[in-house]
Amino acid sequence: MKFLDRKGAPDLLWGFLILFTVNHGLAENFGIGGEGGILFYQDEGQITFGAGGVSYKYGGVFENGLNFLKISSSMPWLSTDISIVDYSAGIDVNLLRPKIAGGVITSSDVKIVTDGAKVRNDGADGFYVGSSLGFDARNIEITPSFLFAKVKFGRGDFYKFYGKPDVPGLVHVGLSAEYEKTHRAGIAYERFDVDILNNRAITLFQSNNYSVGMNYKYSLRVPQKPWEFYVVSGFNYAEISAGGALTAANQQYALFPYAFYNLTGTVDAFAGWTMLSLDIQGKYMEQRIKAGAVNVFSGKIWANAHYKYRKGFGDEEVNEDIVKINPAGTGIVFSIYSLESRGLTVVDGVNVYLGLRKILGYYWGMDKFTDADGKGGHARREADQWGLMKTVLLSGLSGNVRIMF
């Protein structure tokens, strides 16, 4: 049974909107906003997003919000629509700041095409719930957090066999400590198992995955200065191990021409990252400048296939490494520039905020993934200069508007 029936989604949204309409009469500070733009642009297709939400505060201590997000891809190698509805509520009562959040996720049919291989799925439905509790211990604010998510997929196939992914559970546990709003250190652990099922919900492949990370943030706020600065950095280690088998029984067909096909693999990576941020407040405009980088320092990606052909196609069993990649030296550097008005008063008590955002990025080391032998993969069609310029200018470009009452 799906978590969110797409035919019932409008009723759920109406329920959320009624909730906000009832509470709006109590609100002291009510806002509505929207944002949209292009995540990635090519002449052959685009990945776009649109988001919107409402939020309100009252009593000086209670705040909640309802947000919507839709991501659409019309790329030749990826076609799908993903929608998320999220609700959060928080209370600030001096020494305690509890917060809860939850949401539902749904997607349309998913089609992925790469190097002639096609992956198709009828779509996914899922949910997530989370909470955090900030409390003060002298000059230190300690905040434990928790998140659980689950996603189910419809019928589908992976190139030459029938199957669908399944996320039985994703668990996040975090803990952070902040000293006088200047120094903050945190640690997080995630467990995210992903399985592959056939269309009768029989397990074909199972994986055991986890990641752990630590981070540190330094913030600099100078009274009576029109700017704020912070730097955050950290590292993460992730490990994935997976294995399973295809047989004529679990594939519901002859698995021609194989008698069986076993596949095992492991992935691990150790990565470091950092980001700088500077906010500059002018009389009419506010600018935000961010720059960061991520780099993989060590790790491995390995997959082994063990299979046997049916009689007449080969009598010997085959055991071979089909993927063997060292991701060390892979990374990305990025910058984000945002410009937003400080607030345009339309009528008394109504202010409008307008903004633009542009993201630029450059990656390295990705050629390792185009060919497992490190030969650079298949030949690529050279893009014309105008097409490349449009990709650079339009990718990562978005705009937003907020109205505060």
Query: pLDDT truncated to tens, each residue of the chain (405 aa)?
Result: 344 444 444 454 455 455 555 454 445 578 899 999 999 999 899 999 999 999 888 777 888 999 999 999 999 999 999 999 999 999 988 789 999 999 999 999 999 987 777 889 999 999 999 999 999 988 899 999 999 999 999 999 887 788 899 998 999 999 999 998 899 999 999 998 889 998 888 899 999 899 999 999 999 988 778 899 999 999 999 999 999 998 888 886 667 788 888 999 999 999 999 999 999 998 889 999 999 999 999 999 999 999 988 877 777 789 999 889 999 999 999 999 999 998 888 888 888 999 999 999 998 988 877 654 444 444 344 447 888 888 889 999 999 999 888
The residue among 237, 238, 297, 235 whose CA lies nearest residue 272 is 235
The reported pLDDT for the residue numbered 150 is 95
Phi/psi at 390 (5° precision): -65, -40
Whether residue 117 is contained in a domain is answered as no
Q: Is residue 291 part of a domain?
A: yes
Domain for residue 115, yes or no? no
In angstroms, rounded to a whole number, what is the distance separating the alpha carbons of residues 264 and 304? Answer: 5
CB 256 within 8 A of CB 214: no
27 falls within a domain: no
Structural domains counted in the chain: 1
Closest CA to 172 of 192, 193, 151: 192
User: Which pTM was predicted?
Assistant: 0.84
Which segments within 198-311 are labelled E, that is strand?
Answer: 203-221, 227-246, 258-281, 285-309
Q: What is the pLDDT of residue 104?
A: 95
> What local confidence, expressed as pLDDT, does residue 173 receive?
98
Q: Is 192 part of a structural domain of the chain? A: no
The pLDDT score that the predictor gives to residue 138 is 81
- Kindly state whether residue 59 falls inside one of the protein's structural domains: no
pLDDT at 52: 93
The Cα 270–Cα 298 span in angstroms is 5
pLDDT of residue 371: 54
Query: Going by DSSP bridges, is the β-strand pair 183-197/203-221 parallel, antiparallel, or unpaired?
Result: antiparallel
**Looking at residue 280, what is its pLDDT?**
93
Element (H, E) at 17: helix 9-24
Residues 63, 92: Cα–Cα separation, whole Å? 8
In a domain, 143, yes or no: no
Q: Rounded CA gap, 84 and 98, in Å?
A: 23
Q: Which helix (H) or strand (E) holds 16?
A: helix 9-24
The 3-state DSSP class for residue 113 equals strand
Whether residue 109 is contained in a domain is answered as no
Q: Domain range holding 311?
A: 202-377
